[in-house]
Amino acid sequence: MGIMEFLDDHSSHGGAIGAIIRAVIRFFQFILAIVVCALYGVDLQNAHRAHSYTDGRWVFAEVVAGLAAVTTIVYAVPFVKSYWAFGWDWILFILWTALFGLFGSLYIHYHPSPKQSGQIRMKHAVWVDLVNMLLWFITAIYSTLIFFLFRSDRRTLHTGRAKV
């Protein structure tokens, strides 16, 4: 069986093109979550080496990025229908929004000198947070639409008895 037959068989909505688009978006979500882990992890590692205070904001960034990376790995399992977990996509979108707002308020208006490489790195990290937020927003909207519009059973959510 070729890749196109596999995608046609295992993509419930949108056909092969839809499956490829979803896979590309999830791939970028995974890669950018790892990038965020690396960008914020540098400061956490430096604080650990200096036996200094570990700032909770950086820990929050690592937790959000870790949750996003693990989620994309789970969604990559062939028979997992990620649209059933549309609520989790919305939660991750909200977490990325909070992360972008938190670090955006710290670094967007800051103008570091070229010698402040850590500050420049954090200013770049804010924009990676924004891209992550937008990608999770896209997948949250898509998953919600798929869940409510294209359910095969089409029964009410409350009792499950009435057909919609």
35 assigned to some structural domain: yes
Please list the pLDDT of the chain residue by residue as tens digits (164 residues).
444 444 444 445 566 787 788 889 999 999 999 999 999 998 888 888 888 887 889 899 999 999 999 999 998 887 777 778 889 999 999 999 999 999 999 888 877 777 777 778 888 899 999 999 999 999 999 888 888 877 666 666 666 666 65
Question: How far apart (Å, rounded) are the C-alpha atoms in residues 31 and 27?
Answer: 6
Count of structural domains, the chain: 1
pTM over the 0.85 mark: no
Closest listed residue to residue 92, CA positions, set 57, 123, 129: 129
25 assigned to some structural domain: yes
Question: How far apart (Å, rounded) are the C-alpha atoms in residues 102 and 160?
Answer: 41
Range of the domain at 12: 3-149
Question: How far apart (Å, rounded) are the C-alpha atoms in residues 34 and 62?
Answer: 9
155 assigned to some structural domain: no
163 assigned to some structural domain: no
